[in-house]
């Protein structure tokens, strides 16, 4: 359904669910950001003890796949609720972040490589970025 | 732009960014789930020391708002990459999760109320759900 | 028992548990860092929909308190396993981080106040620190 | 220093740091649980794009090791602050959680093996535990 549904349609679905329960007052930006983080951790839990190869294979297992899909949906639902609550245009936000990332990680220089190896630039704060690039 | 952009359009934007850098091999489900969690934490960090009221006010501050928007975009980008990588239809996933939540939290019984107070059901595992309902 | 138990004693308890199950090969630094994050999210879930005041009151509820205590223990156990795995002296690490924080947040200047209000320094990267100080 | 320092000593160090800044009112259980989660994500970020083997090798790199040590210290500091704030005895909490885990994962049955393969028991809620055992 991703082909025929706008992001606004998705936002409206979540908005209706929240309004029907009068849950708006629980939906402070702070609480919603926690909700996103909690559900992200539940998604991560599916893959926690798997290595790269078996985490990919896992998605062919019906039960694990359904679990991953449900947790991903939960993350998305809270993201949509956050955007509803704070009046953020998600498409605009994603577009402008990708543009920023394109400047930061020019395709030519970062093709298939890690941050530290690919940059001549000195390591940044705490060396985090250089040992752990964003890869998006 | 949320009104005029389909979820598939968004997925395609992220997919192109990843392919142009040959970053597909970094994008295991495990790594992407970590990416979502890391960015979710950065979003949360914006609101960490604020209470409910001031976390809402914070979104009227231009700098905090831009920070929140960027971190939310990062979470979304990794969600879209995860869906691309694992062939998940996001709209289908969100719709079916909302349907499940509607059965679990009937609007009549959960209108404006917390889980524990609203249910006669015995507390579930570790009492977590009953003290901390989903509110979505 | 905190008065009579050294940090090394605690590390040894966790080490024995892991060795008795031959789980060392699951305990890569990456997996353990995910374990810490997953358990941290479960602790957070206890307080997710509560505000500052009710999150404090919640700890007087026996069930919520037990849940918080168990999740905090889980975070600690993975921290101890991580330290065991990577040969990190926890007391040294904590001491040296507190020393760094003392230089960064001199007591005189940060007494009872938030980062942004307390500093004349220009906001840092993405304004995160200034809107959301560490408070530790 | 782990051999000569009690957990209570560590708690006292953190307590003094907090009191000297009058930061007690920021330290609600909710905010501290967020702090733990935020720092856990920063630790995870060090290993995010590494696989099992290279995440272990990474700890031999001085810069990455220092980053990991600092982030682990941050997690610990917030755990200690949480315990201070809520009057939790950490040693007691860890001991009683390990005892529970010993009953749940008897060494004989779980030696070197994953949850799902090792149990005859039906998969639990959402199949999460069975695909992703705790390994602690």
Which parts of chain D sit beneath pLDDT 50?
Answer: 116-133
How far apart are the C-alpha atoms of B129 and D71, rounded to whole Å?
30
ipTM (interface predicted TM): 0.86
pLDDT, tens digit, for every residue of D74-90?
Answer: 999 999 999 999 999 99
Give the HSE-up count for residue A57: Cα atoms under 13 Å, Cβ half-sphere: 6
Task: Name the residue with higher pLDDT: B17 or A53.
Answer: B17
CB of C75 closer than 8 Å to CB of D36: yes
Q: Do D131 and A61 touch (CB under 8 A)?
A: yes
Query: Residue C126: its pLDDT value, please?
Result: 41
| C-alpha Rg value of chain B to the nearest Å | 18
Nearest CB to C63 within list B61, B66, B127: B127
Do the chains contact at D44 and B26, CB–CB below 8 Å?
A: no
Contacts of D49 in chain A (CB under 8 A): 114, 132-133, 135
C90: CB partners within 8 A, 6+ apart: C7, C11, C79, C80, C83, D2, D10, D72, D73, D76
Instruction: Evaluate whether D109 touches D118 at the Cβ level (below 8 Å).
Output: yes
- What residues in C contact B37, CB-CB < 8 Å? 37, 41
User: Are B31 and D42 a contacting pair at CB < 8 A?
Assistant: no
| Chain A residue nearest residue C41, CA to CA | A38
Residue of chain A minimizing CA distance to B112: A22
User: Is the Cβ pair C31, A42 closer than 8 Å?
Assistant: no
For residue A120, what pLDDT is reported?
37
Across the interface, whether the CB atoms of C25 and D50 are under 8 A apart is answered no
Residue B13 has pLDDT above 80, yes or no: yes
Determine, for residues B67 and C127 on separate chains, whether the beta-carbon distance falls below 8 Å: yes
Contacts of A35 in chain C (CB under 8 A): 48
Series of mean pLDDT values for 10-residue runs along chain A (136 residues):
96 96 92 97 95 86 95 98 97 97 90 56 39 54
* pLDDT over 80 (residue B118): no
D21 CB neighbours in chain B (<8 A) are none
Of residues A4, A11, A112, nearest to B6 (C-beta): A4
Q: How far apart are CA D44 and CA B38, in angstroms?
A: 7
CA D111 distance to own-chain centroid: 22
Which residues from chain D sit within 8 angstroms of residue B128, using beta carbons? none
DSSP state of A3: T
Residue A6 β-bridge partners: B6
Q: For position A113, what pLDDT does the model report?
A: 73
B127–C42 CB contact, under 8 Å: no
Q: What is the spatial distance between Cα C100 and Cα D71, in angstroms, rounded to a whole number? A: 12
Contact residues, chain B to chain D, C-beta under 8 Å = 26, 31, 34-35, 37-38, 40-42, 44-45, 48-49, 125
Would you say B80 and A76 are in contact if contact means Cβ atoms under 8 Å apart?
no
- Residue A35: predicted pLDDT: 97
CA distance D38 to chain B (A): 5
Closest to B19 in 3D by CA, of B84, B91, B69: B84
**pLDDT-above-70 percentage for chain B:** 83
Chain D contact probe: residue of C3, C6, C34 with most D CBs at under 10 A: C6
Q: Is D72 in contact with C90 (Cβ distance < 8 A)?
A: yes
Closest C-alpha to C59, from B118, A129, A106, B131: B131
Helical residues (DSSP H) of B1-106, grouped into ranges: 7-20, 29-47, 52-58, 62-86, 90-104
Shortest distance between the Cα of D48 and any Cα of chain B, in A, equals: 6
Residues of D in contact with A66 (CB under 8 A): 127
Tell me if C37 and A31 make a contact (CB, 8 A cut-off): no
Three-class SS state of D6: strand
Among partner residues D46, D58, D131, which is closest to A63 by beta-carbon distance?
D131
The backbone region for D106, taken as left when phi is positive above 0, alpha when psi lies in -120 to 50, beta otherwise, is: beta
Cβ atoms of residues C37 and D40 within 8 Å: yes
* Closest chain B CA to residue A90: B2
Supply the pLDDT for residue C115.
55
In sequence order, what are the beta bridge partners of C87? none
If you search the block for the tokens 């199949």, which residue do you land on?
Answer: D127
b/e string for C77-114 if b means 16 or more Cβ within 10 A? bbbbbbbbbbebbbbebbbebbeebeeebeeeebeebb
Report chain D's mean pLDDT, rounded to a whole number: 86
- pLDDT at residue B123 above 60? no
What tens-digit pLDDT sequence spans chain C (136 residues)?
Answer: 999 999 999 999 999 999 999 998 899 999 999 999 999 999 999 999 998 888 888 999 999 999 999 999 999 999 999 999 999 999 999 999 999 999 999 988 888 875 544 433 333 344 344 444 556 6
Q: Of B55-64, B94-103, C1-10, where does mean pLDDT reach its minimum? A: B55-64
């Amino acid at each position: 359904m991703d082909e025929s549904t706008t992001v606004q349609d998705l936002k409206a679905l979540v908005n209706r669910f929240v309004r029907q329960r009068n849950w708006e007052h629980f939906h402070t930006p702070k609480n919603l950001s926690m909700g996103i983080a909690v559900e992200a951790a539940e998604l991560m839990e599916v893959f926690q003890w798997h290595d790269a190869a078996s985490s990919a294979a896992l998605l062919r297992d019906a039960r694990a796949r359904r679990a991953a899909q449900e947790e991903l949906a939960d993350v998305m639902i809270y993201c949509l609720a956050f955007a509803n609550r704070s009046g953020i245009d998600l498409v605009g936000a994603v577009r402008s972040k990708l543009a920023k990332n394109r400047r930061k990680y020019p395709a030519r220089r970062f093709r298939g490589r890690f941050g530290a190896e690919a940059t001549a630039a000195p390591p940044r704060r705490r060396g985090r970025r250089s040992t752990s690039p964003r890869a998006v």
